[in-house]
C-alpha cells in the first residue's frame, strides 16, 4: 500500500509542487492521475520512488516512511517500484534483449551487474517479458531502430523483468498516436490484472483515463481535487480538474476538427 499523509513538496525555487496531499493507494489498484500541464502529476509520481523529495508530511510505501530513506533504502525502493517514462529511457545503442535484462540490475550483485553476468533465469524472464508485450521478434534489434510504440513495449518488458510490486508510468503514451496509445495502455492494464501489480499512470486526458482506470485522481495546482472511481466522475469533476466545462471543450474540439478538414 502507498499512503500520502499531509504530503507537501516545495521546490528549491519556492514553487509548491504538492499541497497537503492525502491519498491511499491499495494493492492491485490501477490509478490514473489526470490534470493540466503543471498540475503536479509528475511530482506526485516521482515522489513515490523519491526522484523528488517531499518537504513535509509522510509518504509510506508498505508502511515504511520512504522520506527517511538513504542510499540503501532508496536502491531497494527503486527495485520494488518500477518506472516507465514518456521518452522510454532505453539505451539506444543496445539491443532490445540487453535493455530488458537491465531490469534485473537491482536484483543482481554489483560484481555481476558490472560484467553483465545474468543467470539463465534472468534471461528466461527477460524473454518471457518480451513475449508478453509481443515484441520478442525484435530481441536483437537495436533499441533506436524501433518505433515509439515498440520502444515503449520494450520498456514495459524491462519493468516486468524487474518484477516490481508497483509500476509508475509518467505520461507513457504522450509521444504516441492514438491507436498505439491504446495498445500500450491495454498492455499496462493487462499486466496490472494478471500480475496484480499496483499501477499508477499519469495522463493528460480524462477520456483515456476513464477507459483504463479503476480509480481517477484529479490534480490542479499541486492539490488533489478529485479522487474516486471512474463511475463517480461527472461534468463537475471535469471542471474542477481543468477549470472549464466539458461543453466548452466539446465546442472547442469541434472547431478544431472543422479547421483540420479545411486544410
Ligand X SMILES: Nc1ncnc2c1ncn2[C@@H]1O[C@H](COP(=O)(O)OP(=O)(O)OP(=O)(O)O)[C@@H](O)[C@H]1O
For ligand X, the binding residues (CB under 6 A) are: 11, 13, 15, 17, 35, 37-43, 204
Shortest-Cβ-distance residue relative to Mg ion: 42
When the beta carbons of 41 and 132 are compared against ligand X, the nearer one is: 41
- Distance between CA atoms of residues 66 and 77, nearest Å: 8
- Which of Mg ion, ligand X, none interacts with 17 (beta carbon under 5 to 8 A by kind)? ligand X
Helix (H, G, I), strand (E, B) or coil at 254: helix
Q: Does 47 bind Mg ion (CB under 5 A)?
A: no
Query: Do 236 and 245 contact (CB within 8 A), yes or no?
Result: no
When the beta carbons of 42 and 129 are compared against Mg ion, the nearer one is: 42
Nearest approach in angstroms of CB 51 to ligand X is: 10
- Which of Mg ion, ligand X, none interacts with 205 (beta carbon under 5 to 8 A by kind)? none
- Which of ligand X, Mg ion, none interacts with 5 (beta carbon under 5 to 8 A by kind)? none
Binding Mg ion by CB under 5 A: which of 30, 42, 166, 241?
42
Please give the DSSP secondary-structure letter assigned to residue 86: T
Query: Do 89 and 172 contact (CB within 8 A), yes or no?
Result: no
Task: Give kind and range of the element (H or E) at residue 140.
Answer: none
Q: Which of 47, 62, 60 is nearest to 219 (CA)?
A: 47
Nearest approach in angstroms of CB 118 to ligand X is: 34
Those residues whose C-beta lies under 8 Å from the C-beta of residue 224, and which sit 6 or more positions away, are: 21, 22, 23, 217, 218
Enter the C-alpha cell of residue 17. Answer: 509542487
- Which of ligand X, Mg ion, none interacts with 37 (beta carbon under 5 to 8 A by kind)? ligand X
Nearest approach in angstroms of CB 208 to ligand X is: 14
Helices (H) and strands (E) in the chain, counts: 10, 10
Contact residues for Mg ion, defined by CB under 5 A: 41-42
Amino acid at each position: 500500500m502507498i499512503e500520502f499523509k499531509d504530503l507537501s513538496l516545495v521546490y528549491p525555487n519556492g514553487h509548491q509542487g504538492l499541497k497537503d496531499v492525502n491519498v491511499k493507494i491499495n494493492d492491485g489498484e490501477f490509478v490514473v492521475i489526470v490534470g493540466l500541464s503543471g498540475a503536479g502529476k509528475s511530482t506526485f509520481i516521482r515522489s513515490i520512488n523519491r526522484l523528488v523529495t517531499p518537504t513535509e508530511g509522510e509518504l509510506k510505501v508498505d508502511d515504511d516512511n520512504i522520506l527517511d530513506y538513504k542510499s540503501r533504502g532508496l536502491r531497494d525502493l527503486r527495485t520494488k517500484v518500477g518506472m516507465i517514462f514518456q521518452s522510454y529511457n532505453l539505451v539506444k545503442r543496445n539491443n532490445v534483449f540487453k535493455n530488458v535484462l537491465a531490469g534485473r540490475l537491482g536484483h543482481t550483485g554489483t560484481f555481476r551487474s558490472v560484467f553483465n553476468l545474468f543467470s539463465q533465469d534472468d534471461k528466461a524472464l527477460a524473454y518471457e517479458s518480451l513475449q508478453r508485450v509481443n515484441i520478442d521478434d525484435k530481441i536483437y534489434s537495436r533499441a533506436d531502430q524501433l518505433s515509439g510504440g515498440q520502444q515503449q513495449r520494450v520498456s514495459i518488458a524491462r519493468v516486468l523483468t524487474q518484477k516490481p510490486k508497483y509500476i509508475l508510468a509518467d505520461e507513457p503514451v504522450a509521444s504516441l498516436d492514438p491507436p498505439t496509445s491504446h495498445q500500450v495502455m491495454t498492455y499496462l492494464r493487462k499486466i496490472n490484472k494478471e500480475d496484480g501489480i499496483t499501477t499508477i499512470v499519469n495522463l493528460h486526458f480524462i477520456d483515456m483515463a476513464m477507459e483504463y482506470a479503476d480509480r481517477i485522481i484529479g490534480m490542479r495546482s499541486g492539490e488533489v481535487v478529485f479522487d474516486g472511481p471512474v463511475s463517480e466522475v461527472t461534468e463537475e469533476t471535469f471542471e474542477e480538474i481543468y477549470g472549464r466545462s466539458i461543453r466548452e471543450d466539446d465546442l472547442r474540439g469541434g472547431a478544431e476538427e472543422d479547421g483540420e478538414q479545411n486544410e
